[in-house]
Amino acid sequence: MATTPSKLPYLSLFLLFVFAKSQPTSAIAPRFPSSILRPHNNLHSPAFISASLDANHNPQQLYREEFFTQVLDHFTYTPQSYQTFQQRYLVNDTYWGGAKNKAPIFVYTGNEGGIEWFARNTGFMFDVAPHFNALLVFIEHRFYGKSMPFGGDAKKAYKDATTLGYLSSTQALADFATLIVDLKKNLSAVDSPVVVFGGSYGGMLAAWFRLKYPHVAIGALASSAPILDFDDLTSPYSFASIVTHDFRSESESCYRVIKESYDLITHTATQSGGVEKLRSSFHLCKKEDVDSLSGWLDTAWIYTAMTDYPTPSNFLQPMPAYPVREMCRAMDDPKTGNDSFAKLFAAASVYYNHSGTAPACFGFGDDYYSEELGANGWNWQACTEMVMPQGASDEESMFPVSAWSFDNSSCDPIYNIFPRAHWITTHFGGHKIEQVLRRFGSNIIFFNGLRDPWSGGGVLHNISTTIVAIVAEKGAHHVDLRSATREDPEWLRDVRRSEIRIIGRWLARYYHHLAHPRPNHNKRRPRVHVY
Amino acid sequence: MATTPSKLPYLSLFLLFVFAKSQPTSAIAPRFPSSILRPHNNLHSPAFISASLDANHNPQQLYREEFFTQVLDHFTYTPQSYQTFQQRYLVNDTYWGGAKNKAPIFVYTGNEGGIEWFARNTGFMFDVAPHFNALLVFIEHRFYGKSMPFGGDAKKAYKDATTLGYLSSTQALADFATLIVDLKKNLSAVDSPVVVFGGSYGGMLAAWFRLKYPHVAIGALASSAPILDFDDLTSPYSFASIVTHDFRSESESCYRVIKESYDLITHTATQSGGVEKLRSSFHLCKKEDVDSLSGWLDTAWIYTAMTDYPTPSNFLQPMPAYPVREMCRAMDDPKTGNDSFAKLFAAASVYYNHSGTAPACFGFGDDYYSEELGANGWNWQACTEMVMPQGASDEESMFPVSAWSFDNSSCDPIYNIFPRAHWITTHFGGHKIEQVLRRFGSNIIFFNGLRDPWSGGGVLHNISTTIVAIVAEKGAHHVDLRSATREDPEWLRDVRRSEIRIIGRWLARYYHHLAHPRPNHNKRRPRVHVY
């Protein structure tokens, strides 16, 4: 049974898991017994592609694959640091206005997974590229996908801390800067403005990139980027609270059935014939240990909350529009009956079997995750610097109570490395962000959908006239970055229109300043302080 | 004889050398035959202390020494990166208004040398501390002074690239951030605003620190910080041109004698009895090779130009006020005679023997530099990331022509490491700085004295209302940071008054925003974009 302490690391690794599972026609679920979740990017599923980019995009012509020789360590000069690796990036120049016109370059700052998956789930960039005549570039994050240091060999790269040690957010940002600067030189496009885009961890990277490399990117669209989900900045309970709120807002009884399910399942498992009852109620395969059942259900609730999109989607699993509502409808449907297990199974099936093609029994996930894809990457990051407090409080949460405590126990035995829990706020800030950035920095959009559990750690208020928050009350995890569809509700169209308008303003101002520079250093512009 | 190519690395390492020599009563000069200059910090000379801080400061009570446990590598998570070392910092809390009053903390971001030397040469901070009720903190740069990684053992730390590799500007900035955040917590002074100060390389670090860590420092006084002396940002000839201009502005004949000295010395050395003539003209010890004579003279011209202060000083050597003028006066003095060598020796003696206590003969420097002081630090930095182009053009320069070329030959054999010549501009920016920072960043003062050869790579024009340039036409290398004296000219007093006024404004705004925060996240402040 998923006990309270073991849930913590599981919750703290969600960000990875958002992008981890994409077997659209399979009902294979993740394994929870271990606290280590491993990603799988099924990049080549045609169903997946067609669902993530609309019919206007020919998947064959979405992008071409390129590689850039990157140094292993930007910040030190040991002989080891000079080792290089091939970093993958994807390019689409279909819509680019060209270097001569100083046409813009839109760069996706890749997150924890193969870059193709992010490219194909960021239809927004393809949608707006023609409008801006933008070159599209999607850069893969080191240690994921094909961007493997140590000879491109994931087994070597993921061997232990001596190699994995080079997987960090700061190195990734420096990779992006180095690649972009070089790419612009090679394209003779040094005057082309760069705007960075990213969702989730990629959104954090986009925002941080604008803050740390303002000379490389003129602005950032940071979608669902929980940059305040560190240290003591955000309640550790916010994530669980928002998931809870998502369900409760649809149906009080739905919420209550889930909230009571943990005790009920635990109790049932101890009864004579209870395990068999659980197996048959949830159509579990015989080999599965029902101790993992609650975790399997949690996955359904949480990822459905995150992807509670207003249109059918295929982000993590094939899903109907407003899937949380669908879950609660299935639960509350009189046809489902009054049995709690039947209700829970009906709801979970919205996540695990929306396509109706599930196998005869459900498993909790086979060990199908590929290490070649950089499987343990986010676990490493969460065990070193991405320490995002997660817990659940009784009053607010439909999940069992679990207090957050800074506990290294799940990381130490694996990597023999201790987290640097305060590094992210030391390096990137976060405390008093409104005061700090009120007169520092510019040109960042923080988008958050309030249905998204990660929005609790997001920037939800305008900080200055150019560091702005776009908040969609009905939005889920980086819904704005998804391809536009004819079914999109008006609020989502409005969000995207705002983003386009703001980015357009950044570009207009950039070109204006480029065309009308201030008098330069040649003594034409007076120095204000001369003595 | 100092040939053209061998001069290049020598010039490129100046920044170090500014702080390198301080044997006030000795005439021992640096050795130039090798391209590697090594620093020496004579921190304990009483004469030195009394000259650098005025009589109001009791040297015994200037500061207390503290140590902070710092990680070896902030940006990677290899087991090696978790090694720690003791970083030294100096604290003076005599004037501090205390944590309760949120009184400010003024931090010197230490550069390439022992921190005591910088503390004692930054009297400005002591001078203004009472006015601001500021805590003074001087943080030593890793790999210098007592802040030696690898067990505090300089021999180990400087062994080779496997250890020296951790000496970099980005690691140093992360050290500062980590130390300051921790110090504020320990002092219960998280609301105390931090202002960073630095001169020369320390000024570059101060400016970069404000840009990279705006959440740690509310502003930076970057004095004589040539942050634009990288890549193609500044003419490689600017340094030599400014030295030339300094001398030429005092006396055309002075300039001409120096300009013609190189050929004259070379020619003389080839004549029968020429070497003896040079030895006797310049009072050289018999063991010295006259091939190094021009380099020995260059040292005098260049460091005198850099320290062309309006009052007597003892920064590198004991010097009179306006020492360039004194050099040219000595050269042009009828009593000196018409012999060029006599003129050159008279001028050089202003630098090498102002105190009149020189020994019977001059040497070009014995191998007295201590490796324990992190002697080769700047050479390493110049060979890895601090690649600052230096050359001399015939038309402008009194120095022999030397074209700048990116040449690794002086670094490769020593360290077997190749410079990353574009890293500084990739990481910190520089290109189109006025456009980039016009609407990004705030609260930086760039001070430059135009007599300072390094001012060519400085920021000489206001960028925005809060990123400002203070330019003193008669100023030399970070003259503003020196202790005030009764003899200071009005322009220098004005410079410091401006700096104090601007820093005061930063602090006032900080306290105002602290006292009057915008409505916080509790839904009282409307989100501008809500959908």
User: Using the beta-carbon criterion (under 8 Å), do B418 and A71 form an inter-chain contact?
Assistant: no
Torsion of CA B444, B447, B452, B458, to 10 degrees: 30
Q: Is the distance from CB of A262 to CB of A294 less than 8 angstroms?
A: yes
> Would the pLDDT of B326 be above 80?
yes
Q: Give the Cα separation of B429 and B432 in Å (integer).
A: 8
Amino acid at B143: F
- Check residue B39 and give its pLDDT: 27
Whole-model pTM: value is 0.90
> Would the pLDDT of B36 be above 70?
no
Give the pLDDT mean for B361-389: 71
A522 touching B (Cβ < 8 Å): no
- Check residue B27 and give its pLDDT: 24
Q: Is the distance from CB of B432 to CB of B219 less than 8 angstroms?
A: no
Which is it for strands B194-199 and B219-223: parallel, antiparallel or unpaired? parallel
- Check residue A357 and give its pLDDT: 85
Give the pLDDT band (50/70/90) at residue B41. very low
Q: Give the Cα separation of A456 and A324 in Å (integer).
A: 18
Least confident of B124-133, B255-264, B381-390, B467-476: B381-390
- Check residue B408 and give its pLDDT: 60
Q: Give the Cα separation of B217 and A436 in Å (integer).
A: 9
Cβ-proximal residues to B486 (8 Å cutoff; 6+ apart), any chain: none
Q: Decide: helix, strand or coil at residue A111.
A: coil
For the four alpha carbons of A459, A220, A199 and A68, in that order, the dihedral sign comes to negative
A69 touching B (Cβ < 8 Å): no
Burial of B153 (0-12, 13-18, 19+ CB in 10 A): middle
Best mean pLDDT range from A195-204, B373-382, B402-411:
A195-204
User: Using the beta-carbon criterion (under 8 Å), do A75 and B462 form an inter-chain contact?
Assistant: no
Q: Is the distance from CB of A350 to CB of A319 less than 8 angstroms?
A: yes
- Positions of A marked active-site: 200, 452, 477
For testing contact with chain A, the best of B73, B74, B77, B510 (most A CBs within 10 A): B77
B528 contact residues in A (CB cutoff 8 A): 462, 468-469
B513 touching A (Cβ < 8 Å): yes
> Would the pLDDT of B407 be above 80?
no
Quote the DSSP letter at residue A104.
-
Q: Decide: helix, strand or coil at residue B482.
A: coil
Average pLDDT over chain B, rounded to an integer: 85
Which is it for strands A318-319 and A313-314: parallel, antiparallel or unpaired? antiparallel
Q: Give the Cα separation of A348 and B206 in Å (integer).
A: 55
- Check residue B484 and give its pLDDT: 96
B71 touching A (Cβ < 8 Å): yes
pLDDT digit string, tens, across residues A232-268: 999 999 999 999 999 999 999 999 999 999 999 999 9
Q: Give the Cα separation of A131 and A133 in Å (integer).
A: 6
- Positions of B marked active-site: 200, 452, 477
Question: Vertex B38, ends B291 and B113: CA angle to 5°?
Answer: 150
Q: Give the Cα separation of B173 and B179 in Å (integer).
A: 10
User: Using the beta-carbon criterion (under 8 Å), do B460 and A161 form an inter-chain contact?
Assistant: no
Q: Between A22 and A396, whose confidence is greater?
A: A396
**Residue appearing with tokens 């990779």:** A175
Cβ-proximal residues to A266 (8 Å cutoff; 6+ apart), any chain: A1, A294
Give the pLDDT band (50/70/90) at residue A483. very high
CA B302 to chain centre: 14
Nearest Cα to A402, choosing from A178, A175, A239? A239
How far CA A28 is from CA of A288, B496, B523, in Å, comes to 12, 70, 41
- Please state at what angle helix A323-332 crosses helix A252-270, rounded to 10 degrees: 70
Cβ-proximal residues to B37 (8 Å cutoff; 6+ apart), any chain: B10, B13, B16, B17, B20, B30, B31, B379
Shortest CA gap B27–chain A (Å): 35
> Would the pLDDT of A71 be above 50?
yes
Q: Give the Cα separation of B469 and B189 in Å (integer).
A: 30
For testing contact with chain A, the best of B74, B183, B529 (most A CBs within 10 A): B529
> Would the pLDDT of A372 be above 90?
no
Alpha helices by DSSP H, listed for A133-200, are 154-157, 161-164, 169-186
- Check residue B373 and give its pLDDT: 40
B165 touching A (Cβ < 8 Å): yes
Strands (DSSP E) contained in A454-503 are 467-472
Nearest Cα to B179, choosing from B118, B121, B107? B107
User: Using the beta-carbon criterion (under 8 Å), do B441 and A213 form an inter-chain contact?
Assistant: no
Quote the DSSP letter at residue B392.
B
User: Using the beta-carbon criterion (under 8 Å), do B215 and A432 form an inter-chain contact?
Assistant: yes
- Check residue A197 and give its pLDDT: 98
Nearest Cα to B448, choosing from B124, B236, B203? B203
Give the pLDDT mean for A471-494: 96
Burial of A338 (0-12, 13-18, 19+ CB in 10 A): exposed
B445-474 residues touching A, CB cutoff 8 A: 460-462, 466, 468-474
Q: How many CA atoms lie within 13 A of A512 on its CB side?
A: 7
pLDDT digit string, tens, across residues B468-510: 999 999 999 999 999 999 999 999 999 999 999 999 999 999 9
Q: Decide: helix, strand or coil at residue B410.
A: coil
Q: Which helix (H) or strand (E) holds A207?
A: helix A201-212
Burial of A90 (0-12, 13-18, 19+ CB in 10 A): buried
Question: Vertex A335, ends A333 and A339: CA angle to 5°?
Answer: 85
Cβ-proximal residues to B443 (8 Å cutoff; 6+ apart), any chain: A439, A440, B210, B218, B219, B220, B466, B467, B506
Burial of A283 (0-12, 13-18, 19+ CB in 10 A): middle
Q: What percentage of chain B exceeds 70 in pLDDT?
A: 83
- Check residue B21 and give its pLDDT: 28
Choose the closest CB to B462 out of A165, A167, A527: A527
Please report the number of interchain residue pairs, chain A to chain B, with beta-carbon separation below 8 angstroms: 226
How far CA A470 is from CA of A439, A484, B68, B508, in Å, comes to 20, 17, 42, 31
List, as one string, the DSSP characters of B422-460. THHHHHH-BTBHHHHHHTS---EEEEEETTSGGGGGS--
Q: What tokens appear for A382 in the block? A: 């969460």
Alpha helices by DSSP H, listed for A282-361, are 293-306, 323-332, 340-352
- Check residue A60 and give its pLDDT: 58
pLDDT digit string, tens, across residues A421-469: 999 999 999 999 999 999 899 999 999 999 999 999 999 999 999 999 9
- Check residue B288 and give its pLDDT: 85
Shortest CA gap B205–chain A (Å): 15
Q: Give the Cα separation of A248 and A282 in Å (integer).
A: 23
Residue of chain B minimizing CA distance to A172 = B75
A413 touching B (Cβ < 8 Å): no
Cβ-proximal residues to B98 (8 Å cutoff; 6+ apart), any chain: none
Choose the closest CB to A529 out of B428, B430, B471: B471
For testing contact with chain B, the best of A77, A380, A479 (most B CBs within 10 A): A77
> Would the pLDDT of B309 be above 80?
yes
A83 contact residues in B (CB cutoff 8 A): none
Q: What tokens appear for A116 in the block? A: 């193709």
For the four alpha carbons of B198, B199, B201 and B207, in that order, the dihedral sign comes to positive
Give the pLDDT band (50/70/90) at residue A28. very low
Q: What tokens appear for B215 in the block? A: 């959440």
B30-53 burial code (b ≥16 CB/10 A, e <16): bbbeebbbbbbbbbebeebbebbb
Question: Vertex A280, ends A276 and A284: CA angle to 5°?
Answer: 95
User: Using the beta-carbon criterion (under 8 Å), do B214 and A440 form an inter-chain contact?
Assistant: yes
- Check residue B58 and give its pLDDT: 56
Burial of A111 (0-12, 13-18, 19+ CB in 10 A): buried
Average pLDDT over chain A, rounded to an integer: 85
